[in-house]
Amino acid sequence: MKVVILWSDALLFLLLALVFIGGWWSRRQAHLRDAWRKVGASATAMAATTVLATFLLVGVLDSLHYRERLPDVGGVPAGSTNYSNEVLSALDAVLSPLRTRSEKTYSAPLATYLFAKESLDAGGGGRDFPRLRHGGAHLGAQLDGHGGDIAMRVLKGLGLGVALWLPLWFFARRKKLMRSGIHGDGAGDTAGPAVGAVLVTALVLLLIAGVVVALAQGYHVLGTDKVGQDVLYLTLKSIRTGLLIGTLTTLIMLPAAVLLGMLAGYVGGWVDDAIQYLYTVLNSIPGVLLIAAAVLMMQVIIDTHPEWFASSAERADARLLALCLILGVTSWTGLARLLRGETLKLREMDYVQAAQAFGVGRLAIMLRHILPNLMHIVLIALVMDFSGLVLAEAVLSYVGIGVDPNTISFGTMINAARMELAREPMVWWSLAAAFAFMFALVLAANLLADAVRDAFDPRNAG
């Protein structure tokens, strides 16, 4: 096995490291620590965080890439090792049965037959629904026990989910008893509702995961697509793309938005005029047209320089990063405008005027007095923009100017399902699966954003 580090992988892990560093720094700041405690005490916020953590776990597993070692064959020089050109991830290894058990074409969720009729033999024996190669193959020729087998697997999956949840419940129970010992009868313990929300959410997620795991061992839980790929596998692979679009775009746009917003608000004068002119011009250009032009230009560069990429994964990764860069260039203006307005107010505060009177430099004032008081706006805007960026990828990929067609994403799944909806009978499960997972991701992000906004809003202080 040869480890492969794509640029998107490196940037994702860099962003996670920055998040951990920011969390450590927030613990040392009293006002930020108190605000995050309010978020942690919110049952809704902790339930949403649990869902987002599950998505993040899937995304991280899908960002650990490698190339498999090929078996030794005759004629290969001694000591040399050959590796496959296909770049896989840890998630591919976990989902290997789903990835390799492909069918001929469409099949409905939990089905044992293909969705379309075919000629069963060349001798004119008629048309019928052929059996799937993998879905329900363990049942043999007799399908009388199909419903009973599904029911039994559902019960086993529920039992597995409960078995995995019980250690979490015992651990939370023990922590609660320890806190009760510290606070007497439990007075002062505000974490109870939040812990309960985490446990309930974890129970629901584990029950769903247990049922899916049990059913996936013998069936295609969400059916298959036009080329016979498992839709559940495609949906799980789409999570990484959505997370990268939402997070890497943030990493790209944040420095420009913070720097230009503070400079425009604090320095003023021609600097303020130039920055306002810049983001006004960007806002006057239709976003979709600007993104489409930039993506097409980047695609031309990628097509004319194939020697830059050692594999198709690196080629698709380059277009993904280009899309993140383009979205970042077009999305920093809103945050910069907010930070400029807040900086205009902060520079008139007494402590800033006192620092100026004592001869403190502009840079020191912006770093010590302006930036810390802007962080609540930055945090609120970033969390709220995440869901918008995830939806933006789906829309852009749907119209053909998003990620590379070989990159699995919610947008490419929806785009592929566009023609499937016109069939009779309709193939609905690809669109439904992409919609359900994207809905859960965006809803969890929005609920967390609401809690962060309420906790960090100065108007809610005290």
Would 449 be classed as within a structural domain?
Answer: yes
Q: Count other C-beta atoms under 10 Å from residue 428's C-beta.
A: 15
What pLDDT score was predicted for residue 182?
A: 53
Rounded mean pLDDT, 357-385: 82
Would 115 be classed as within a structural domain?
Answer: no
How far, rounded to the nearest angstrom, does the alpha carbon of residue 145 sit from its chain's CA centroid?
A: 39
Which region among 104-108, 183-187, 199-203, 368-372 has the lowest average model confidence (pLDDT)? 183-187
Residue in this structure with the two tokens 């991280």, named with its chain if needed: 60
What pLDDT score was predicted for residue 187?
A: 47
Listed residue (55, 39, 33, 218) closest to 139, CA to CA: 218
Separation between Cα atoms, residue 158 and residue 206, nearest integer Å: 8
- What is the residue-averaged pLDDT of the chain? 83
Question: 169-181: per-residue pLDDT in tens?
Answer: 888 888 776 666 5
Would 132 be classed as within a structural domain?
Answer: no
Count of the separate structural domains present in the chain: 1
In this structure, what CATH number is given to the domain that contains residue 311? Answer: 1.10.3720.10
Per-residue confidence at 39, pLDDT binned at 50, 70, 90?
confident
Would 330 be classed as within a structural domain?
Answer: yes
Taking the CA atoms of 351, 357, 358 and 361 in sequence, report the sign of the dihedral they define.
positive
pTM (two decimals)? 0.85
Structure tokens at 88: 């896989």
Structure tokens at 294: 């930039």
Instruction: Give the structural domain span for 382.
Output: 238-460
Query: Quick check: 102 pLDDT over 50?
Result: yes
Would 60 be classed as within a structural domain?
Answer: no
Residue 440 DSSP symbol: H
What pLDDT score was predicted for residue 180?
A: 62
**Pairing assessment for the beta strands 127-128 and 118-119 based on DSSP bridges:** antiparallel
Beta strands in 171-290 (DSSP E): none
Which percentage of the chain shows pLDDT scores above 90?
Answer: 14
Would 6 be classed as within a structural domain?
Answer: no
Query: Quick check: 313 pLDDT over 60?
Result: yes
What pLDDT score was predicted for residue 188?
A: 47
Angle between helices 410-420 and 429-456 (to 10 degrees): 140
Contacts of 32 (CB under 8 A, 6+ apart): 25, 26, 375
H-state helical runs in 139-187: 146-182
Query: Quick check: 144 pLDDT over 60?
Result: yes
What pLDDT score was predicted for residue 268?
A: 82
The more confidently predicted of residues 57 and 398 is 57
Report the chain's C-alpha Rg in angstroms.
Answer: 26
Would 391 be classed as within a structural domain?
Answer: yes
Would 245 be classed as within a structural domain?
Answer: yes
